[in-house]
Amino acid sequence: MFRIKIPRYWRHKDFRYRLNAWRCNHCGEVHFFKPLVCRKCRSREFNQVSLPDTGKLLAYTVVRSPPEGFEAQSPYIVGIVELDDGTRILSQITDCHPEELKKGMRVEATLRKIREDDEDKIIAYCYKFRPTV
Partner 1 sequence: MVRMSSVVIVGYGGYVPRYRIKGEEIARIWGRDRSELPTEEKSVTGLDEDTVTLAVEAARIALKRARIPPSKIGAVHVGTESKPYAVKPSGTIVAEAIGAVPRITAADFEFACKAGTEALQFITSLVDAGRIEYGLAIGADTAQGRPGDALEFTAASGAAAFIIGKNKNEGVAEIEAWTSYVTDTPDFWRREYERYPHHTARFTGDPAYFHHIVNSVKNLLENDGYTLNDVDYVVFHQPNTRFPLVAARLLGVDLEKVKPGLVVGQIGNTYAACSLLGLVRVLDQAKPGQRILLSSFGSGAGSDSYIIRVLENIKLKRDLAPPLDKFIDRKTYIDYAIYARHRKKILM
Partner 2 sequence: MSRVYIAGVGLTKVDEHWWISLENLMTEASIKALDDAGLSRIDSIYVGSMLSLILQEQGHLGALLAEELGLSGIPAMAVEAATASGSAAVYAGAREIESGRADAVLVVGVDKMSDGMAEEVAAAMTSSERQEYTGFIGATFYSINALIYNLYMDKYGVSQEKIALFPVLCHEHSVNVPHAQYPFKIKLETVLNSPYVSEPLRRFETTAIADGAAALVLVNEETARKLDSPKTELLIEASTDYLTPFQREDPLWFPAVQLATSRALSRAKLERRDIKILEVFDATSIMAILSLESSGFAERGKAWQLLEKGELSLSGSIPCNTFGGLKARGHPAGATSVYQIAELHLQLTNRAGKNQVDSARAGLAQSLGAVASTAFVTILKEV
Is the separation of the CB atoms in 98 and 77 below 8 Å?
yes
40 or 50, CB closer to partner 1? Answer: 50
- Regarding 31 and contact with partner 1 (CB under 8 A), the answer is no
> Burial of 55 by CB count in 10 Å (0-12 exposed, 13-18 middle, 19+ buried)?
buried
76: which strand partners? 63
Q: Is 41 in the site for partner 1 (CB under 8 A)?
A: no
Of 31-39, 60-68, 79-87, 107-115, which part binds partner 1 (CB under 8 A)? 107-115
Query: Considering CB distances under 5 to 8 angstroms, the limit depending on partner class, which of partner 2, partner 1, none binds residue 18?
Result: partner 1
Indicate which of partner 1, partner 2, none lies near residue 111 (CB less than 5 to 8 Å, by partner kind).
partner 1
User: How many CA atoms does the CB half-sphere of 18 hold within 13 Å?
Assistant: 8
- Binding segment (CB under 8 A) for partner 1, from list 28-36, 39-47, 79-87, 120-128: 120-128
Amino acid at 17: Y
